[in-house]
Structure 1
């Protein structure tokens, strides 16, 4: 894997954009995979399909725009090595929709929100305003909605497990991202605790700060969801 650098050189800018294109490629596959693998099998409502079709369309557009930009920078997708971390996580969560939502569509999506502002700044500092504008005006705001979809449907599954007859219409989702879904404080705490347990089971190690609190909040992903996961869990083994 090549070092990405800080976008100060053409080689570094090519490497960063190539990495972003590769991430979008996996994101397209993951969006369709969650629909095909879990939608009908888990009896998900129509809005679940609609949300992730929209995510897939966004990711496809991001891929095309970034791949075009990469060519303008004198490279092309596939010219550099790339990691398969997202697909490794997909395989690990292939039999559990709750885990898939938590890891791929909450943890990984939110991590992208954490690092994108720094990436944008690096391109601007390196004199590449065109790439910075693409990331800032197209990719970044749409990625917030993708994280929001993960949070929304994780909540839905948790609540449905307690109320099997629950339909999507019973959940009042926020339009502006400033409010949590309208469920009881006790119910919300149970959902968050389930999220913590799921992430600790399916994700290696603690989450890495600093966190983009503003973007995460806009996705309905408050600090109570992720801050406890930034600390390595201590295993208490009773002495014998």
Structure 2
């Protein structure tokens, strides 16, 4: 593997190596390694314009995790028993394993295709690095709880959404990096409270102090680049200029941003989610975390179940 890594010249090549690695532990390791190389300037090119890249529809995985349909998943419980805590952490480990792939997939699948600026690549490399760390920490915690990744069934609903959004970057950003990531922010405070009530402060601290704040930045990346694409289509800005394009496009709008511009971006978000995401969003919403990520209730409340409009308290 080290010899292979030495031959990597572009970030998209690195992304493809991560995506095509079936062993998730190795995937997490090389994901972190490539992220460091990009952030430290060892890898400098995002891609080669003249080169064609083949992105896997579904990254390969070792058959060590039994997969079932989401509707057939056993109930995780409320962390009141050791078995429930193991099941919840196992589910989180599995989710983070696919989150690593999602971060590299958006780089490989859409970066060149959409001629995205350098800042786009850097933002999702940072997301990938976070997800790799989350996977490792949660997998270690699962072992400490007396279980291991693969000991329980899981489902691949997260990657099923990736397949549905594989042709449209706006859809990928909206569904995976806003809807699904934001849903995680909605439920994490309750999960943390349940682990604390069960006396498992170690897991609660991991979720609260490491994973929760970093997941807010992942939602923020989704909103940021969704806005960018909407505004770029209006401004017809040069799509690639060494990482300054986002600020150029964004500043041109936000300095004197009209309500109509904002409303048009939000309407595009609503249309995209309704097109690519099955069903309404489920309250209660964690308004404080969502606001910290950069989107207010106008983005998500019109997409919610109408009879349930409550929100998670801002103190959470």
TM-score, structure 2 length as denominator? 0.70
1-side partners of 2:166 and 2:121: how far apart?
A: 17
Counterpart among 133, 136, 143 of residue 64 in structure 1: 136
Which residues of structure 1 form unaligned runs of 5+? 174-179, 233-240
Counterpart among 271, 274, 296 of residue 197 in structure 1: 271
Report which stretch shifted further, 221-230 or 184-193: 184-193
Which residue of 1 is the match for residue 159 of structure 2? 87
- CA contact under 8 A between 2:269 and 2:299: conserved in structure 1? yes
Which residue of 2 is the match for residue 37 of structure 1? 109
Report the secondary structure of 1:44's partner residue: coil
CA distances 1:113-135 after superposition (whole Å, capped 9, x unpaired): 00000000000011100000000
CA distances 1:157-191 after superposition (whole Å, capped 9, x unpaired): 00111111152122458xxxxxx955332111100
2-side partners of 1:171 and 1:42: how far apart?
A: 15
2-side partners of 1:171 and 1:217: how far apart?
A: 22
Which residue of 2 is the match for residue 235 of structure 1? none
1-side partners of 2:274 and 2:265: how far apart?
A: 14
CA shift for structure 1 position 231:
3.9
Which residue of 2 is the match for residue 114 of structure 1? 186
Counterpart among 195, 201, 215 of residue 289 in structure 2: 215
Report the secondary structure of 2:285's partner residue: coil
Listed as ranges, the matches of 1:152-191 within 5 Å are 152-165=224-237, 167-172=245-250, 183-191=257-265
Count of residue pairs brought into register by the alignment: 226
1-side partners of 2:113 and 2:99: how far apart?
A: 21
Which residue of 2 is the match for residue 228 of structure 1? 302
Counterpart among 1, 20, 26 of residue 92 in structure 2: 20
Which residue of 1 is the match for residue 83 of structure 2? 11
Which residues of structure 2 form unaligned runs of 5+? 1-72, 239-244, 307-316
1-side partners of 2:305 and 2:214: how far apart?
A: 29
The structure with the larger Rg is 2
- CA contact under 8 A between 2:196 and 2:204: conserved in structure 1? yes
Which residue of 2 is the match for residue 177 of structure 1? none
Report the secondary structure of 1:31's partner residue: helix
2-side partners of 1:154 and 1:181: how far apart?
A: 15
CA distances 1:83-129 after superposition (whole Å, capped 9, x unpaired): 11110000000000000000000000000000000000000011100
TM-score, structure 1 length as denominator? 0.91
CA shift for structure 1 position 16:
0.1
